[in-house]
Structure 1
């Protein structure tokens, strides 16, 4: 067992071991052969008995590389776009993020950064090594610059008014060091730099037994309690930290940076430890149940399609159909994935229009959040079979 990446404790309690999972869920391969040979790793889910953080103890940072082509974007969903608009409005309206310099770390395609600049007249710089190219684009009264690289801290001429990091903290080998860096981006002489963080909600994942939301590249799984204490320990004054998006799938945290680090995290919440142990049993049960179900359908000559080739779909197929014998192909609304193949299993990713004129009996939906959107889209393409949701 290694040390906790948040508090450095070596008191990690093993919860679940899953072998041969795809190394990165955001990478679809250009050929079937490359997909079958994609790198894998083992998830060894554990909980720190001192600070309470849930971690993947099998994580090896040197095996992970974020480069152009990596894509976990959800902005093709109207539901998700509405959520991002709501979050941007809250930062602009409730926290006064107007006419400020905004820095987003791990900005993806810059969608959220553009919203902040459009709605608040802000200027923005986004950093992400998975960007295909750097460009500057006029947006409303502000300007957005996207940089295809990791952010490298250096004394800026002026401290940013807002630092944003969405769906990145959980991926990092040193989350404490990352939070320390963000806190140091504030100007000590002019406090007031806001921080907006978003991470997957471990309480939601564990409590709802979301088996297919466990990924190798997720180093850490934060509860609201651990996220709040981690930020406070690095010197941030936390203004709010609460579940967000639908039924609480993510956590949003707003804080003021620039305070003195304390490095005092405090004790773990015992409720999280029990939830993690219960989750391990639920994972094994779901994998067994879905393998049997898909095998039964295939044995009866039924044709099955999976809609959703993102993280949940990729993890699900690697666990229950590694030989790609039970699910015929996958469908995804994200055009960046069309024509590619999923790592490890080699399932081909097709556009929704490929459902037209194809005889499909079962449609498995990988993410219940988008069930209504997906069912409507599938019916529009002529699908008349049964729908099942993970």
Structure 2
């Protein structure tokens, strides 16, 4: 890893956690950010990240679907993915699905069985999300909570940047897929962050900041063959579509 590119000594450990009182907000845990260039894939990583500080709970809320602009974009994305992957919509899984909003859009666009996994939510909130959206939301990680589920298409949006060890995470997803299954990944774009000097997007819970090249490298090492990559939502997001690479066996998680 190269030397630090950015340091923040005291950053909220969970920027999107809603505090019930002023006192609770002031007492919220903080952590140190020390962004360096990762020597393996070329992404930016917080070398000072402590996963124990980023303890997700029902208080964490980062859904943007209340914005008409964002919701319209997400609906268009769901329709595009459903069209491109129309032969892979038998069993769609959303890893880190939040309240199941995007999975609901995929179902409306033609997906058959839809299952979301959100370990950061309680069983109660997962049930409420299922009732609200009409899709199945499980308060469990993927693939540990998948049972005999064999997804034909997996979406994972704005999750990977939160994962301290992204390679085992993606390899575990790869090992659980049906033959020929597809993957859609979406993360904040490190290129946009740097070009726009968007320091407000440097969050403690985002321990990784990927460029297009670094994310493609990571996906390839995890056992995926990248079909498409580029930017979305005005360049703020980085998007990748890939398939499980059948030319190589699924790597061990």
Same topology, TM > 0.5: yes
The Cα of 1:261 is off from its aligned counterpart by 6.4
- Hey, what does 2:244 align to over in structure 1? 257
Relative to structure 1, the CA distance from residue 149 to residue 227 in structure 2 (aligned partners, 3 Å threshold; closer, same or farther) is same
Aligned-CA RMSD value: 2.1
Q: Deviations over 1:114-158 (max 9, x none)?
A: 01011114211111133352334497xxx6111123224377535
The Cα of 1:210 is off from its aligned counterpart by 0.6
Relative to structure 1, the CA distance from residue 88 to residue 155 in structure 2 (aligned partners, 3 Å threshold; closer, same or farther) is closer
- Hey, what does 2:94 align to over in structure 1? 104
Relative to structure 1, the CA distance from residue 115 to residue 44 in structure 2 (aligned partners, 3 Å threshold; closer, same or farther) is same
Residue number among 104, 114, 125 corresponding to 1:114 in the alignment? 104
Residue number among 116, 126, 141 corresponding to 1:126 in the alignment? 116
Question: Is 1:244 matched up with 2:223?
Answer: no
Residue number among 199, 208, 223 corresponding to 2:196 in the alignment? 208
The Cα of 1:95 is off from its aligned counterpart by 2.1
SS at match of 2:226: strand
Q: Is the 8 A contact 1:105 1:127 kept in 2?
A: yes
Relative to structure 1, the CA distance from residue 261 to residue 221 in structure 2 (aligned partners, 3 Å threshold; closer, same or farther) is farther
Q: Is the 8 A contact 1:13 1:49 kept in 2?
A: no
State the alpha-carbon separation in 1 of the partners of residues 9 and 182 from structure 2.
40
Q: Is the 8 A contact 1:233 1:261 kept in 2?
A: no
Residue number among 68, 82, 85 corresponding to 1:95 in the alignment? 85
Q: Deviations over 1:206-259 (max 9, x none)?
A: 11111111011111100010111110111111110111112x100111111254
1:1-390 superposed matches below 5 A = 11-96=1-86, 99-131=89-121, 132-135=124-127, 136-137=130-131, 144-153=135-144, 156-187=147-178, 191-246=179-234, 248-259=235-246, 260=248
State the alpha-carbon separation in 1 of the partners of residues 132 and 88 from structure 2.
16
State the alpha-carbon separation in 2 of the partners of residues 162 and 226 from structure 1.
23
Structure 2 unaligned segments of length 5 or more: list them. none
- Hey, what does 1:304 align to over in structure 2? none
The structure number with the bigger radius of gyration is 1
State the alpha-carbon separation in 2 of the partners of residues 156 and 122 from structure 1.
18
State the alpha-carbon separation in 1 of the partners of residues 4 and 40 from structure 2.
14
SS at match of 2:72: helix
Q: Deviations over 1:45-95 (max 9, x none)?
A: 111244311001111012211111210111110000011111101111122
- Hey, what does 1:278 align to over in structure 2? none
TM-score (norm 1): 0.60
State the alpha-carbon separation in 1 of the partners of residues 75 and 9 from structure 2.
38
Structure 1 unaligned segments of length 5 or more: list them. 1-10, 264-390
State the alpha-carbon separation in 2 of the partners of residues 234 and 179 from structure 1.
6
TM-score (norm 2): 0.90
State the alpha-carbon separation in 2 of the partners of residues 109 and 194 from structure 1.
22
Q: Is the 8 A contact 1:21 1:40 kept in 2?
A: yes
Q: Is the 8 A contact 2:171 2:250 kept in 1?
A: no
